Structure formats: structure tokens, C-alpha cells
Amino acid sequence: MNMKKLSIMLACIGAWSAVTAQTLPEGTPAQTNIPEADYPCVDASSRATFRLDAPEARNVQVDICGKKWPMTKNPDGVWSVTTDPLVVGFHYYFLLVDGVAVNDPASETFFGCGKMASGIEIPESPEAAAYYTYDQSVPHGQVRECHYYSSIEQKERRCFVYTPANYETDASRRYPVLYLQHGMGEDERGWSRQGKMADILDNQIAAGKCVPMIVVMDYGNCGYIHGARPGESREEFGASFTPILLEDIIPYIDKTFRTLTDRDNRAMAGLSWGGHQTFQTTLAHLDKFAYIGAFSGAIFLPPEADMRKVYNGVFADADAFNRKVHTLFIGMGSEENMGSRELSEKLSAIGIKNTYYESPGTHHEWLTWRRCLNEFLPLIFKSDK
Amino acid sequence: MNMKKLSIMLACIGAWSAVTAQTLPEGTPAQTNIPEADYPCVDASSRATFRLDAPEARNVQVDICGKKWPMTKNPDGVWSVTTDPLVVGFHYYFLLVDGVAVNDPASETFFGCGKMASGIEIPESPEAAAYYTYDQSVPHGQVRECHYYSSIEQKERRCFVYTPANYETDASRRYPVLYLQHGMGEDERGWSRQGKMADILDNQIAAGKCVPMIVVMDYGNCGYIHGARPGESREEFGASFTPILLEDIIPYIDKTFRTLTDRDNRAMAGLSWGGHQTFQTTLAHLDKFAYIGAFSGAIFLPPEADMRKVYNGVFADADAFNRKVHTLFIGMGSEENMGSRELSEKLSAIGIKNTYYESPGTHHEWLTWRRCLNEFLPLIFKSDK
């Protein structure tokens, strides 16, 4: 080994520093950190401590979902702050360095808020977190990155496809498919990274709680994350996803994977704006979908709306709707106000069967949506037809 | 649609702004930007223009692989700079905001330099870039994210596995496997993101240039990216990857995928530190590997070393080595000095057959390694045994 050359190379890539095996007085390094980053860390009371080496900066803050925590500088130029106890689950955050919102160099990054964001996981108890935690004793599926050509957009698109563990071992079996959408701030990576969907599916399938299924996660904003297309009204924003799903994505999935292709084996669900897109898509195409889920769905009907007339009157004949739609799931966090409970109640009032779930203590965030998925999965692809 | 609620939600997630369809005087938005970000952009002369809205910052620079470009502030508080022509290919970069190296909010992020980094692709001509560019007319493989349990590390590990397009359609066929390693600053995501390995494989397989194969990309630094483990010398840093590969990864891959498991169907290659690990691993286990590639390999032998004695004397009997190793590939960029040419010449001088490739005009960067992979692939799994 030529140590001089090695030193030069290491200096070039900036990846060499002393090994620190320090114990942290402020807690345990967050799961969402890059390898070997001690900070941010989280203590047993869900307080997070952030640090940033920024001797020349005049003002540094942590911005966690809009709440700002001023950091203070020590004599070495390292800024730090310990927050109050935070809500458990996954939060996006940024550091504000002299007014600029940037990522924490110590954090992994996650596409959220319309750009790459830092994220911090505030752990629940192991028991509460078990359903979305890797378990070495259960068989594991795979999340496959697939690229395909969209005839509508006339360009390459990307989706992620979860296949269950026995997809590999039973080469003749065909599977039902759940199309699972992110929110307006995220993209097709959200459910498998922030949402931990693969662990949720692996654990439920192993326990027999849900049936083995394929899950497809594609990009719902269709290249227009910041608003409507030119000439498109706000109400229509994202509406272009429906034809892409029906004409490009579903045919691609059914051609590429061993799917069951009838409506009784196709579900769609989404969070926030993805919930709105799920309603827009499925309620207009009940010949293609039999299970519907909206997690904190951005389904903002006017308070005076006649529920028998919205969505082209799909709810007017409750018996017919209930025969067709085997599961209509509406969920939300208890600390957000997306109107999901009212929506569920209005549908119940006109005889539309639906399941309402409220995640205790959570906001418009990923822990709400992990829990919603966990509640939704056992309800699909099992109905007596 | 209740516009008030929608507005509140949109304000919360910060993802709403006016649609701009502006034409850019400075060029075309970089491929590596997040959706809808106009800057950074690149002009026809490979000059890049960066922008950052930072009215309160006192000093903002762009740092591209160590070369710094000062930015200037306009009256609106937006900083910008246009660089000189840059080398084509993929470069990591950071913004220095009042001395703090942070990611550009307009860029995708890539794990490099030991943390999440911004990246900018400076395009080559379409002809030069064709081999690593998505082509809608060829069949596409998949890159699968797999999680498995390591008996050595006693924890969950993650790898990415490329399966060729016909892996899905020909359910009885078995495939040779290339184990492909990242460098010290990267992780197991590098080859499929920065390296564009799936497009390279798809294009070569479709053209009949390489044989269909499985490619496995795992994490070589084994949790110790910043240096040696406590008690481990610098020379040994990363050496713990060899037993993990042999005892955990290969058995997992051979159990999970339809692989060919003899040495004539197993290759290993890596870039920079991954090239060092490739030599360390394969030369000590020629019973398991028949093809070896080092791309800008960090193989720093002392100048006075007797090549017949290094690596436990594996090169001492050239005829025996040449019969066993069907391909020994050594590549490098013309603008870096990793000693690869000297290594190749020293091996040739003692009769060890090897292929040397030098990428014209490129440094210790991903375009060198894309080209190395492109040169290496046609040489493996085709030998007359």
C-alpha cells in the first residue's frame, strides 16, 4: 500500500476523518442519518438534538414542518439545539442557514415538499413500530425500479413495483395489484422510503393479515409539481395522471408482471393529493377498480354538496355502489383537518358503506399514512364476490 | 373543490408557485435537477449556470469537485454564476453558503463524498452518450432493492440487483453474475444512479455486445465510511467486505435469483476503493471468480514491489493465472493518476494477460467508470473455457 497516494485520494474525496466512538449525552443517532453521523440524535422523550458546523454563519435554525427552533453557536463554531418532545414518526426538516433552507449534511434526503428534504424518524416503541420494521424472520419481497415509455407523455417514466416474497418461488402464481399514490410534495419514491411499505407488506403477508399482492408506485404529478399545467385550472391539476394510469401504467404492469387483471383484483389508494387522484380515477372507472383508499385525502367537496350528485352521481344508487365497491376506506390523522371524518359520515348518511380510521396523535405526515396502509391492506382482495 | 382548504394544504406543503414557462438565456435545465427546476442549466459549450435565492447570505460559492466559483448577488437577493466550460459527465457539487457546504435545493441528491451531494450532468453529444441513455426501442431490465440479514454483521443489509429484461420472460434460464462495487465515497446506490448501469446493460444486451447477466451492487464500506474500524489499520479498511461478500451476499443471491454458480459465471469489478476490494477479494479466491475489473482502482503497490510476490504470489505463475482468469481489466481516466497504466504494464511484463483502457479526457469521476463498465462488459462470460 502506497500511503501517500492513498492519503491524496482520501483527501480528494473528503471521506477520511478520525473514528469517533463517542457516546452521546443527548440520545441515539437518528435512523434517518447517513452512516456514522451521530447527530441529529433523539432521546427517550422524543427530543431531537441537531448540530451544524458553521463558524461563519450568523443565524442557523432548524425548521421541522414549519416550526422553527433557533440554534446557538458554541466557541468552536458548531451550532446546536435540542427541541421539545416531537411527535413520533417521520418528519421532513430543513436547516435555515442565514435564511436559506438547506438539507442537513448529516441526514439522508427524501423527496418531499417538492424537493429533496432532510428527514428525521422519531421512534415509537418497538411494539408500536413492529408492523413497519424489518423482521429477519419473515420472507422479504423486493421493490423493483422499472422504466417504461409513456405513449401519452412521449417520454421515459419510472415506477417502483413491490413483488411479494413468493413471487420468486412460485413462478406460475398471479397476483392482485394495488396502485398506491404519493402526495403532492412527494414522488414515486415516497412510499417505499418514507412510507416503509415493503416492511408493512412483508410483515402482513407473513402473518396472513393481507393477501400477497403486487404494489405499484408511480409518479402522480406528471411533471407539474408546482401547480397546474398552462391552460389547466387548479381543480384539474394532476388530472392528467388518470389517463396515464389507465392507458400507460396498467397495461405496462399487466404485460410485465404476473397480475390478475379483473376489477376484483385491482385496488387504488393514495395519500393527500394521491387520495384526491384515487377518487377522481376510481369513481369514474368502477369497471376497473373494486377497492378504494384515501389516506388524508385532499377531497374538498363544498359543504353544501349533494353527495348523490358529486363524482357524476356515482353515489346516487347506494346499493349498486356497495355491490361494486368491496372496500371504501377513508383515513386521517387525529391532529390534521382534511375533512375525512365528515366525508365518511356524509357517505354513510346516504347508505354508502365505508370504513373510517383515525390515526391517534398524528398529523399530515407519514406515520398517519403508514398506519392507514396497515389498516387498509387487510380489507382488500378478500371480499366475497 | 373547497379552495380555502386546498390553499391551506398547499401552503403547508410549500409546493405551490406560479408556473413558469420561461426560456433560459443560459442554456437547458440540467438532467440532474428536480422536476421543474430551471437552474442549474447548461449551455452548448458545457458552461453551467447556478442560481440560489439567498438575500440574507453574505457569501455564496459553487464548489464543483473542489474548484470554487464565487457567485454574485443581484438586487433581488438571487446569487448566480456561470462557470467556464466543464468536463462532460457527472460531477458532484455543493453550494457554500456563508462557509457551509450544502446541497443545491434545485438538484437531485446522490450519495457521494460520504454524504448526500448535489450532482450535475454535463451532457456529451447524443452519440457519445447513447450507450448510457434510455432507449425506448430496447427491452429493459429492472433494478431490484433487496433486504437481507447478514450473519456476519448481525443486522439488515441492502443491495440492488439488476435483472435483465428476459429474466422475467424466460423463467427457466439461469444467469452469470457480476458483483459491481462503488467507491469509498459512495454506497450501493451509486452504480444504478450516477453510473447509469441499467441503461448500459440494457443497451449492450439488446445489441448483443454482452451476454444477459445479473449485476449485484452492495455496500462495500460496511458501515465504516470514515476510516478503519477501531483496531483496524488503514490497510485493512474495508477488508471486512470480503467475508460479507463470500459468506452473506453470494449465498443470498444464489438462493434468491436464478444464477449460474460456478466460477466461470462469476465476475467482480469495482471503482476506486471498490477496485482495491475487487483485487483483495478475487485474487485471494480465484476458485470463485474468473473475471476481474478495476476501474480507477485504488491499488497502490509500492514502486519497488515484486509483482510476483504481491497478493500472496498469485501472479508468480503467469500461465496458471492466465488459464484461470479469463479477463483482467484495468481502466482509468486520462486526467487522473491512479497508477493503473503502470499496474497494467508491470503485470504485462511478468506475462499476466490484461486489458488496459484509458478514458479520454476524464477524471476520477463517473463518466470514467461508465466507460470502463461499457468496455468491461463485452469481455466477460464469453471466454472459451
Architecture of the domain delimited by B25-122 = Sandwich (2.60)
Nearest CA in chain A to B302: A2
Which residue among B107, B156, B171 sits closest to A134, beta carbon to beta carbon?
B156
In this prediction, residue A8 carries a pLDDT of 44
The reply to whether residue B102 touches residue A100, judged by beta carbons under 8 angstroms, is yes
In this prediction, residue A238 carries a pLDDT of 64
Which secondary structure element, helix H or strand E, spans residue B295, and what is its range? Answer: strand B291-295
Q: Does residue A164 sit in helix, strand or coil?
A: coil
CB B230 within 8 A of CB B238: no
Cell triple for A364 = 399530515
B-chain residues near A227 (CB < 8 A): 16-19
B-chain residues near A156 (CB < 8 A): 134, 136
Mutate to test the interface with B, among A98, A169, A335 (most CBs of B within 10 A): A98
The reply to whether residue A226 touches residue B148, judged by beta carbons under 8 angstroms, is no
Beta-strand (E) ranges in B129-217? 142-150, 155-163, 177-181, 214-217
A-chain residues near B139 (CB < 8 A): none
What share of chain B in percent tops pLDDT 90? 84
Nearest CA in chain A to B258: A168
The reply to whether residue A116 touches residue B102, judged by beta carbons under 8 angstroms, is no
Q: Does residue A301 sit in helix, strand or coil?
A: coil
Which residue among A13, A108, A136 sits closest to B156, beta carbon to beta carbon?
A136
CA distance A179 to chain B (A): 18
How far from the centroid of its chain's Cα atoms is residue B267's Cα? 17
The reply to whether residue A100 touches residue B143, judged by beta carbons under 8 angstroms, is no
HSE of A124, CA atoms in CB hemisphere, 13 A:
18
Mean per-residue pLDDT for A239-243?
87
Q: What is the mean pLDDT of chain B?
A: 91
Closest by CA position to B134, among listed B203, B32, B88, B31:
B203
The reply to whether residue B16 touches residue A300, judged by beta carbons under 8 angstroms, is no
Q: Does residue A193 sit in helix, strand or coil?
A: helix
Query: Residues near A127 by Cβ (< 8 Å), separated by ≥ 6?
Result: none
Q: Using the 8-state DSSP alphabet, how is residue B236 labeled?
A: G
- Write down the pTM of the prediction: 0.93
CA distance B329 to chain A (A): 20
CATH number belonging to domain B130-379: 3.40.50.1820
Which residue among A18, A98, A116 sits closest to B57, beta carbon to beta carbon?
A98
CA distance A264 to chain B (A): 25
Could you report the per-residue pLDDT of B315-335, keeping only the tens digit for each?
999 999 999 999 999 999 999
Which residue among A36, A105, A257 sits closest to B101, beta carbon to beta carbon?
A105
The separation between the first and the last C-alpha atoms of chain A, rounded to the nearest angstrom, is: 69
Cell triple for A16 = 477520511
A-chain residues near B142 (CB < 8 A): 144-146, 161
Residue type, B7: S
pLDDT band at A17 (very low <50, low <70, confident <90, very high): very low
Residue B75 clears pLDDT 70, i.e. is over it: yes
The reply to whether residue B227 touches residue A57, judged by beta carbons under 8 angstroms, is no
Q: Does residue B211 sit in helix, strand or coil?
A: coil
B-chain residues near A12 (CB < 8 A): 66, 364
A-chain residues near B146 (CB < 8 A): 140, 142
Mutate to test the interface with B, among A300, A332, A340, A368 (most CBs of B within 10 A): A300
Could you report the per-residue pLDDT of A253-268, keeping only the tens digit for each?
999 999 999 999 999 9
A-chain residues near B147 (CB < 8 A): 134, 140, 198
Cell triple for B255 = 438462493
Cell triple for B158 = 441492502
Beta-strand (E) ranges in chain A? 28-29, 41-42, 47-53, 60-64, 67-70, 72-73, 78-85, 89-97, 100-102, 109-112, 115-122, 142-150, 155-163, 177-181, 214-218, 266-271, 291-295, 327-333, 355-359
Q: How many CB pairs lie under 8 A apart between chains A and B?
A: 247
Backbone angles phi, psi at A33, to 5 degrees: -75, 160
Nearest CA in chain A to B78: A100
Residue B221 clears pLDDT 90, i.e. is over it: no
Could you report the per-residue pLDDT of A53-73, keeping only the tens digit for each?
999 999 999 999 899 999 999
Residue A369 clears pLDDT 70, i.e. is over it: yes
What is the number of residues in chain B? Answer: 385
The reply to whether residue B9 touches residue A97, judged by beta carbons under 8 angstroms, is no
The reply to whether residue B98 touches residue A54, judged by beta carbons under 8 angstroms, is yes
CB A296 within 8 A of CB A261: no
Mean per-residue pLDDT for A39-46?
97
CA distance B244 to chain A (A): 17
CA distance B4 to chain A (A): 9
ipTM score of complex: 0.92
A-chain residues near B188 (CB < 8 A): none
HSE of B106, CA atoms in CB hemisphere, 13 A:
16
Could you report the per-residue pLDDT of A341-361, keeping only the tens digit for each?
999 999 999 999 999 999 999
In this prediction, residue A171 carries a pLDDT of 86
The reply to whether residue A15 touches residue B108, judged by beta carbons under 8 angstroms, is no
The reply to whether residue B35 touches residue A187, judged by beta carbons under 8 angstroms, is yes
CB A197 within 8 A of CB A162: yes
Distances A313 to A155, A341, B176, B201, B226 between C-alpha atoms, Å: 35, 21, 56, 50, 61
Could you report the per-residue pLDDT of A142-193, keeping only the tens digit for each?
999 999 999 998 999 999 999 999 998 888 999 999 999 999 999 999 999 9
Cell 412510499 belongs to A191
A-chain residues near B175 (CB < 8 A): none
A-chain residues near B227 (CB < 8 A): 16-19
Which residue among B19, B143, B156 sits closest to A228, beta carbon to beta carbon?
B19
pLDDT band at B171 (very low <50, low <70, confident <90, very high): confident
In this prediction, residue B17 carries a pLDDT of 38
B-chain residues near A119 (CB < 8 A): none
d(CA A65, CA A89): 13
Closest by CA position to B133, among listed B64, B81, B198:
B198
Residue B304 clears pLDDT 70, i.e. is over it: yes
Closest by CA position to A240, among listed A225, A255, A256:
A225
Could you report the per-residue pLDDT of B257-302, keeping only the tens digit for each?
999 999 999 999 999 999 999 999 999 999 999 999 999 999 999 9
Long-range contacts of B147-156 (CB under 8 A, 24+ apart): B147/A134, B147/A140, B147/A198, B148/A140, B148/B248, B148/B252, B148/B256, B149/A136, B150/B244, B150/B248, B151/B247, B151/B248, B152/B240, B152/B243, B152/B244, B152/B247, B152/B248, B153/B222, B153/B223, B153/B244, B153/B248, B156/A134, B156/A136
Could you report the per-residue pLDDT of A80-90, keeping only the tens digit for each?
999 999 999 99
CB A265 within 8 A of CB A176: yes
Closest by CA position to B336, among listed A347, A58, A5:
A5
Task: Quote the crossing angle between the two packed helices A366-376 and A197-206, to the nearest 10°.
Answer: 30
The reply to whether residue B1 touches residue A234, judged by beta carbons under 8 angstroms, is yes
Domain ranges of chain B: 25-122, 130-379
